[in-house]
Amino acid sequence: MLNIVIFGAPGSGKGTESELIIKEYGVDHISTGDVLRSEIKNETELGKIAKDYIDKGQLVPDDLIVNMLAKVLDGKKNSKGVIFDGFPRTIPQAKALKEMLNKRGTDVSVMLDLKVDEDELIRRLLERGKISGRSDDNLDTIKSRLDVYYKQTAPLADYYISEGKHVAIKGVGAIEEIFGRVKDAINAVK
Ligand code: B4P
């Protein structure tokens, strides 16, 4: 199975590049952000809890996210691969993902780390905020999300370096140009 972790700060292009990867490689897509937004829209118990965290720019607790992801993954048993978009975001999530995949006889193939400078991240998210209607795409929440990213999520790069799975990708430039770099990294492990 081709299991890709797409990683980067908020606004680094994870969702955007995921769409192109899905078209090119026919893998399934799991975006924890999308799943959470759908839970919020449907006013489920999980959605009600998650909304408070997301609106503050904080991470939803690991146990809730891991249980949610395990259920989604169970629904993709015959998949030829999965792109994990926005998951893992903490070391415990990364360890839980490894365990879940190992149990299913597979593992992460590659972790793509999209590198974008902070000014560009803020510019993109404010731009998206004008049309997305997302409650977390405003300047105060964006700043909290970036802070959380640097403190809790960025250290995951070292975890995947130690696993021999980490590939840094320059995430600035045209979307197709970045996708060229993404494809080189995926084709090297396919
Ligand atoms: P996510 O939905 O994952 O949101 P995100 O980090 O903002 O990234 P996204 O994928 O949406 O944006 P992209 O970079 O593609 O998470 C939202 C919240 O949910 C989190 O803050 C957290 O609270 C919670 N959550 C989710 N997963 C969790 C987990 N595992 N654990 C705990 N909590 C979790 O794109 C941004 C914009 O840039 C777009 O408008 C796009 O058009 C633009 N863009 C992309 N590439 C570009 C390029 N090359 N040039 C110019 N613009 C570009």
- Tell me what pLDDT residue 26 has: 95
What is the per-residue pLDDT across 58-106, written as a single tens digit (0 to 9) for each?
999 999 999 999 999 999 888 989 999 999 999 999 999 999 999 999 9
85 C-alpha to ligand 1 centroid (Å): 9
Residues touching ligand 1 (Cβ under 6 Å) are 10-16, 32-33, 36, 53-54, 57-60, 65, 86-87, 89, 93, 124, 128, 136, 145, 175, 178
Mean pLDDT of the chain: 96
Q: Which residues pair with 168 in a beta bridge?
A: 113
Domain made up of 2-189: CATH architecture:
3-Layer(aba) Sandwich (3.40)
Domain boundaries, the chain: 2-189
148 C-alpha to ligand 1 centroid (Å): 13
Residues 135, 136, 141: CA angle, nearest 5 degrees: 130
